[in-house]
Amino acid sequence: MKLIKEIIFGQIRHAATLAGGALVTHGLVNSSGAQQFTGAVMALAGVGWSIGDKWLRAEFPAESGGPSGTGSQSILEKL
């Protein structure tokens, strides 16, 4: 699970960096703004990942060991 999460977040980070670079290239933001953009995208991705994982645990309690997921793997961890 940790490897999958690292790969997905790495891809999101690279896409955000690419988008930030494009914004700088077109003069829409400066380099500081691009760094803030990348940080904001990563923060939103982390929140989205957390919400999605909790939603899956609540939606499929039998597979994840209950809504709290205590002592069990989440569905995303089983991938």
| Per-residue three-class SS string for the chain | CHHHHHHHHHHHHHHHHHHHHHHHHCCCCCHHHHHHHHHHHHHHHHHHHHHHHHHHHHHCHHHHCCCCCCCCCCHHHHC
Kindly report, residue by residue over 32-75, the tens digit of the pLDDT.
988 899 999 999 999 988 888 888 888 777 655 545 545 455 55
Question: Distance between CA 12 and CA 47 in Å, rounded?
Answer: 13
The pLDDT score that the predictor gives to residue 2 is 73
What average pLDDT does range 6-14 have in this prediction?
Answer: 88
* pLDDT given at position 74: 55
pTM, entire model: 0.62
Out of 1-10, 12-21, 51-60, 69-78, least confident range: 69-78
User: CA-to-CA distance for 50 and 48, rounded, in angstroms?
Assistant: 5
